[in-house]
Amino acid sequence: MGSASSPSPRPFAIQDAVSPDGSLSLSNVTDWEADAAADAKVELARTILQHTNIRDALVARQAVIADSHVFNHEIDFKTGPITNQKSSGRCWLFATTNVLRYEIMKKLKLKEFQLSQSYLFFWDKLNKSNYYLELSIELADRPLDDRLVSHLSGDLISDGGQWDMAVNLVETYGLVPQDVFPESTHSSLSGPLNTLLKTKLREDALILRDLSNSLKEKSLAPAAITSILRAEKEHLMKEVYNIMTATLGVPPLPGSKFVWDYYDSDGKPGQFNGTATEFFEKYASKPYAPKDSFSLVNDPRNEYSKLYTVDKLGNIWGGRPVMYVNTEIENMKATVIKMIKAGVPVFFGCDVGQFSDRVAGVMDPALFKYETAFDIKLGLTKAQRLQVNESAMTHAMVISGVHLDSDGKPLRYKVENSWGDSGGNKGYYLMTDAWFEEFVYQVVVFDGGNPHVYPAWDPMGTLA
């Protein structure tokens, strides 16, 4: 816990540097090349890797063989289809809806079903726009180069999010089937919309800052200033709403009735006639209510058995904050195993780009032979990766199975991703226990205290 020790330095002899001023010396390069040219391993690596992607060339065959897509404990009810977030960063919304659809599909006896990810995406993006402008009002007195102000204006309306932000959305806006509010070009390809909204919102933030400064010069009461600023913000938000409805469509209001017709797995027709909030309450709020859930995280930089939050992170202004209970990795594993055995899918957050193969659908620290090929040692601990920005929580998925050894220890986990069915085992991925230890940061428990606050720019505030 706390500060991690630095990687062990290699043995060295006291000697003068070739380049006393620290610049790159060609004399050094000449010496390095002479050593490399005499090394058969280096020559072999140069022969192969100049023409081949190192990730393809250095895959460890033994790891691929060992990483079998077989699991002795799986959730008994199978959902489908495998979802696809396409060219967007909505993994957390797909993971959320993939978890919530389990109970819906069981109750309605559905063979295939998707909740509308685009519906939640719309309300999230609209609320994040409002959240950013509220923060711009709150922080109007700070200079633009203040670290917090600069950080918040960086990725101000990211597609990503956290579990507690998803709980905010479903508790406020409910859920609708995908047929009721289907995908649009810009929900599946969010980049162009995000670029436009970020440009507009940054300009809007400056408008509100300038107005705030001019109002304070008039010696108005703070409450009056806030009221005027929020009225201007609402005018600016109307323009944001118009952009979003033009590109994503007009979603049903949470209290407006819709009709959804469907066939169950026996071919029997059914119908739901009600609102988005009623659909959520009837089918997705029991027996595991999202509002009663919480996140366990494994952050070895900080003290365990404490509650943490992230400063200025959220989507719905005044809504549920993002909260984490920091715990040892073995506790997280035990929780996952318990939930899988109970038939409950597990939302989790991880750093998916680390030692993973998208085609094979394998996440395993032993997957690539970098150390052997380059004669190097990669020895960062989990805490050190967080400290030096080598790792963060970048992706959310769902654990739906686990393979235990004869002593009940986990060997690997079955993972439901949202990248379509072409990768892995028809869209399902495999995560080894060693990878879980190093690159899984969060699991959500269905079952709080005063939280310790991470700064807004902390890696634990990265939106999956």
Choice among 84, 91, 130, 350 that is catalytic: 91
- Whether 395 is catalytic is yes
- Whether 91 is catalytic is yes
SS (H, E, C) the chain: CCCCCCCCCCCCCCCCCCCCCCCCCHHHHHHHHHHHHCCHHHHHHHHHHCCCCHHHHCECHHHHHHCCCCCCEECCCCCCCCCECCECCCHHHHHHHHHHHHHHHHHHCCCCCCECHHHHHHHHHHHHHHHHHHHHHHCCCCCCCCHHHHHHCCCCCCCCCCHHHHHHHHHHHCCCECCCCCCCHHHHECHHHHHHHHHHHHHHHHHHHHHHHHHHHCCCCHHHHHHHHHHHHHHHHHHHHHHHHHHHCCCCCCCCCEEEEEECCCCCEEEEEECHHHHHHHHCCCCCCHHHEEEEECCCCCCCCEEEEECCCCCCCCCCCCEEEECCHHHHHHHHHHHHHCCCCEEEEECCCCCEECCCCEECCCCECHHHHHCCCCCCCHHHHHHCCCCCCCEEEEEEEEEECCCCCEEEEEEECCECCCCCECCEEEEEHHHHHHHEEEEEEECCCCCEEECCCCHHHCCC
Q: Which residues are catalytic?
A: 91, 395, 417
